[in-house]
Amino acid sequence: MTVPMSPIYLDYNATTPLLPEVVAAMLPYLSEHFGNPSSSHIYGSRTKSAVAHAREQVARLLGCSADEIFFTSGGTEANNLSICGVAEAWRDRQATSGHIVTSVIEHPATSNPCSWLQHRGMRVSRTPVDSTGRITIESLKQSIDSSTTLVTLMHSNNETGVLQPISEAAALAHEVGAVMHTDAAQSIGKIPVHVDNLGVDLLSVAGHKLYAPKGVGALYVRRGTPILPFLRGAGHERGLRPGTENVASIVGLGEACEQARLHLTDTEPRLLRLRNRLWNRLNAVIPGLALNGHPDLRLPNTLNLRFPMVSGLSLLAATPEVAASTGSACHDGAETASSVILAMGIPQEQAIGSVRFTVGRMTTEEQIDQAAEALSRSWSRLVS
């Protein structure tokens, strides 16, 4: 079988292409505007102003003040800084290990720092999810207690797109004086995300999930939140994140956030229509096809499906016309069932048939129809 040069891209939760507006905003800072933002001369002041403008653009999207935005190398660093930074601040003030509450479906950028802190003496509670992939309020109530230091939960799951009860979790965390962090990498630019509506103290952003470059992200830190730097260096980012700023990528992130803010009311329903179009076409011709995750409370672009009698990996291998994934791009490629799907109570033999399809701003209806036809044709060949 000949592999097409440009298969239909349905893996926007893994990464997104750069928007033309983002590229245009970045180009001057890849050529003529090369100064160090910390330099006092004109070359430095130009790039310093560009970073400040980008900070304002990110803040406008999240509904916060610009001085509450700190730039990082991506969502992973933002999560590590949140989790380890709050833990370190707690140790510094309380001289005790503390307690973290998280969930069983977190991205490794959250689960691994929690495990690392657990090995260093912190108590970590991992709450389960229900059959739709949602964290339950009852399980959170049972996990959060007077010793809880931090609650860290993803805003939406990267594999199923299921939205989590973040505002309710934040209220429970604040009742006991704990800090609330959410990894909103997958949600930003797809649905409205406002820090005050969520009630969070910390929120992570990953640039390459919303049409900005890879290797840049941001962390929202509510004023007064106890947090210490995880890296040691000079006083960049007001001392919280040392290292000379990645100016061009920061400018790109700012522009991506601005585009998201301007077009969100149009983008969200369009993504939903495309996602549902793919589901309807596949469901009409594949008996036993099942949805992983909540039918309604999920991202408008995400469709995680269980194909009967085949593995997701074999289905994608048989369909080179479509670029999708069997789970997170960070640990894709192995013939094993996703831990996220298994956590929902789905048996191993069914979970292994799962495939994640995610549409984006460049996806067209014609591509959806072509993908549905190719996938259904491959599935029929595999089960015949």
- What is the C-alpha to C-alpha distance for residues 340 and 338, in angstroms, rounded to an integer? 5
- Distance CA(135)–CA(137), nearest Å, equals 7
Q: Contact 113/152 with Cβ under 8 angstroms?
A: no
Phi-psi region of 271 (alpha: psi -120 to 50; beta: other; left: phi over 0): alpha
Cβ count within 10 A of residue 238: 10
Q: Does 330 participate in catalysis according to the annotation?
A: yes
- Residue showing tokens 């999920």: 298
CA angle centred on 200, ends 172 and 243, rounded to 5°: 135
How far apart CA 30 and CA 140 sit, in angstroms, is 46
Task: Give start and end residues of each alpha helix (H) in 40-191.
Answer: 42-62, 75-94, 108-119, 137-143, 166-175
Residues labelled catalytic: 330
